[in-house]
Amino acid sequence: MTLAMDVARLLNCEADERPCGECNPCKRITGQLHTDVRAIRVEGTGREGRGRTAISIDQIRDLQKEASLKPYEGRYRVFIVDGAEQLTEEAANALLKVLEEPPEEVVFLLLTADTGSLLPTIISRCQRIELRPLALDIIAEELVKRFGTEREQANEVARISGGKPGWALEASGDSDMLERRASQLDTVEVTLRQSIEGRFAYAERLGTAFTRNRDGVLAELTLMVQWWRDVLVVSQDKTELVTNLSRLDALRAAADGLSSDAVASAIKAVQETMSHLERNVNPRLALENMMLTLPTIN
Ligand SMILES: [Zn+2]
């Protein structure tokens, strides 16, 4: 998405060296105010009250309509389909029609982590750009340079980013994001030390949140998987592979009391719960079940 936004700025920038990031169109695109640049992603809640899990045909019909119009304020209309693997089949087919006869002055950017889920006919209409993870020390270096981040924190953010520079830049410019993450990790560590009441209270909170904020809950569980993975690498004395560097003490304490098998089962339990949730089982039951399975930590 970071790169896609840069392409949108590049196409509409008014400076000589594009994208400048400073001119009016650049700023309007960054602020998501530019009328010619639009991101399409899974959004809102379905009619039946359940969280939507796909980009719908209605969203692509809107895109079709807008794409047939001349750019309103810029040189190009840019549509960024964020999570193109989440198009429903009919939405994908509707998009394919637009891609087969692309209007002039319109650029479509399809973002996906899984090209295998796209229609081959769509892929054949696109120019593919593959993005690979960047070396972590390059990311850390850049954070120190751009934001004056402390070296230790820069290293941690780089590791958390998993090599995604856009994520690392955004996180470093947004202290709330890192604080929220830290407080979620605090909750994980506290809850895993608790008896069944505390664990069920956690399951209930996440279960309730899931109906209105599906992605948020899945992100919290991903964080939990990452935390357990850290416990595993610590128990194998591979500290250099730890993601959450600032948590080393808690990770060591947890690793001390558990066998590697127990930790590996914990990782599996959380991952299975995530796939159950994605298949729309009763969220609270699935989460309670997970909390019963996870071992108690030191
Ligand atoms: Zn510009």
CB 75 within 8 A of CB 34: no
**Digit-coded pLDDT (tens) for 238-249:** 998 999 999 999
Same domain, 14 and 72: yes
pLDDT tier at 53, thresholds 50, 70, 90: confident
Same domain, 141 and 78: no
> 8 CA to middle of ligand 1, Å?
10
**Digit-coded pLDDT (tens) for 9-51:** 999 999 999 999 999 999 999 999 999 999 999 875 444 434 5
pTM of the shown model:
0.73
Residue 267 inside a domain? The answer is yes
> 15 CA to middle of ligand 1, Å?
5
Burial 75-105 (b: 16+ CB within 10 A, else e): ebbbbbbbbbbbbeeebbebbbebeeeeeeb
> 127 CA to middle of ligand 1, Å?
24
Same domain, 163 and 205: no
Same domain, 88 and 141: no
Same domain, 155 and 79: no
> 14 CA to middle of ligand 1, Å?
5
> 75 CA to middle of ligand 1, Å?
12
End-to-end CA, the chain: 40
Give me the domain span that covers residue 154: 132-173
CATH number at residue 63: 3.40.50.300
> 11 CA to middle of ligand 1, Å?
9
**Number of domain units in the chain:** 3
Same domain, 116 and 143: no
> 22 CA to middle of ligand 1, Å?
5
